[in-house]
Amino acid sequence: MSNSDNLGSVGEGVKNRRLKIGVSQRELARNAGVSYRTIIRLEKGGNIREKMLQKILEALKQLELSGKKAGDWWKWHRKGPL
């Protein structure tokens, strides 16, 4: 399995986890401190730096632990909960 295959499956997993909790690509990028394009590149199986991947995975974990649920995006899409 090549490195790009690994990133593709990681990217797919990130996308599935992100969608499950109803977080947009932009919101994940903002929480991770990376660019929106980095999230898109990862989810499409492109190459990103390991440091960026770690930041994304940590932000995703924190968002999952925060109790966000699919369908609640409208409460969070601006500056935080209403």
The answer to the question of residue 23 being in a domain is: yes
The answer to the question of residue 19 being in a domain is: yes
The answer to the question of residue 75 being in a domain is: no
User: If residue 26 lies in a helix (H) or strand (E), which one and from where to where?
Assistant: helix 25-32
Q: What is the pLDDT of residues 19-67, one digit of tens each?
A: 999 999 999 999 999 999 999 999 999 999 999 999 999 999 999 888 7
CATH of the domain at 14: 1.10.260.40
Task: For residue 9, give its domain range.
Answer: 3-63
Number of domains into which the chain is organized: 1
- Predicted TM-score (pTM) of the model is 0.74
User: If residue 37 lies in a helix (H) or strand (E), which one and from where to where?
Assistant: helix 36-43
The answer to the question of residue 47 being in a domain is: yes
Cβ(28)–Cβ(56) under 8 Å?
A: yes
The answer to the question of residue 82 being in a domain is: no
The answer to the question of residue 71 being in a domain is: no
